[in-house]
Amino acid sequence: MFKHSKTCIYMVIVLLLLELFSFPTPNSNVKAVTLTTTWSTSSPTSNAAIVSTSTLEATPSSVTTATTDAIDINTCECSLNSSSFEYTGQEILPVVTVKYQGNTLTKDTDYSLSYKNNVNLGVGEVTITGINKYNNSKTLKFSIKEAVKTLPTPGDLVVINNSKYRIKKNGKAYFHKSANKAIISQVIPKSIEVNGYTFKITGISGKAFKNNNNLKLVKIKTPYLTKGSVSSNSFKNTNKKLVIKVPSNKKKLYKKILKNVGNSKLTVKSL
């Protein structure tokens, strides 16, 4: 009898130890457990029973899972360098600035850009998409408008195809000079276009080809030259073998004009 009771006691102790050292896993939903054990022992000399009751409560420990929340790009300060752009026929790519709490974010590291309707006249869009620790996207809009045509004023000097022209009154302009001082050949066009406005080439200035001994050929396509519109120094000190080609119907007039512009040895031919 005593040996049997002693064995029961050992078994209860083992169960208690198992309960004490059993821990819930972080993801298990463990409820409080109450274990009640009762046993009795009898001494060899007494029939008195000893009854003991033990209560064990197991409570799961709280588990905290750390999470890192991405930053919504919509909480950032996003702006363009302008809300309106002139039509160019090419893609309009506004400069985008993105800031978070005063700090400027880096393109292709914190966000990416994509464009829509950014060539033709109308409303274009640029979409800012968060990457890495930033998420979601935000779209900014901008307008593409017809370029404002500003009429050049008399006296303005404009450069077209490496040649300089002086703007005159009433839609007229003079060939001023080539941007290349050592130019070998030059074309003087019938007209030029500046900001959408057309100007007829009606004269040649005194600095046009002066002292350029490398010049060998000049093609004059404009029919609007007059005796008083070509400077007497425009071809001064140029190559004696210089050839000037002019419109056929203007050859006679232009030959008279060009023989008195600083190089009497030059040759005038038809285009």
Q: Tens-of-pLDDT digits for all 271 residues of the chain?
A: 545 566 667 676 766 666 665 555 444 444 444 444 444 444 444 444 444 444 444 444 444 444 468 999 999 999 999 999 999 999 999 999 999 999 999 999 999 999 999 999 999 999 999 999 999 999 999 999 998 888 899 999 999 988 999 999 999 999 999 888 778 999 999 999 998 899 999 999 998 999 999 999 999 999 999 989 999 999 999 999 999 999 999 999 999 999 899 999 999 999 9
Would you say 266 and 244 are in contact if contact means Cβ atoms under 8 Å apart? yes
* pLDDT for the residue numbered 204: 97
- Sequence-distant (≥ 6) Cβ neighbours of residue 53 within 8 angstroms: 36, 37, 38
* pLDDT for the residue numbered 35: 41
Domain containing 224 — which CATH number?
3.80.10
The verdict on 163 and 258 lying in the same domain is yes
Confirm whether 66 is domain-assigned: no
Would you say 115 and 126 are in contact if contact means Cβ atoms under 8 Å apart? yes
The verdict on 78 and 45 lying in the same domain is no
Domain containing 114 — which CATH number?
2.60.40.1080
The verdict on 164 and 265 lying in the same domain is yes
* pLDDT for the residue numbered 182: 79
Instruction: Enter the DSSP assignment of 179.
Output: S
Q: State which residues form the domain around 264.
A: 157-270
The verdict on 255 and 168 lying in the same domain is yes
Confirm whether 84 is domain-assigned: yes
The verdict on 92 and 120 lying in the same domain is yes
Q: Alpha-carbon torsion 174, 175, 181, 182, what sign?
A: negative
> Which among 124, 145, 166 is the end of a domain?
145
Confirm whether 150 is domain-assigned: no
The verdict on 238 and 167 lying in the same domain is yes
> Which among 145, 179, 203 is the end of a domain?
145
Q: Maximum Cα–Cα distance for the chain, whole Å?
A: 156
d(CA 67, CA 55): 38
- Integer-rounded Cα Rg, in Å, for the chain is 48
First to last CA, the chain: 137
What is the token pair recorded at 242?
A: 């210089």
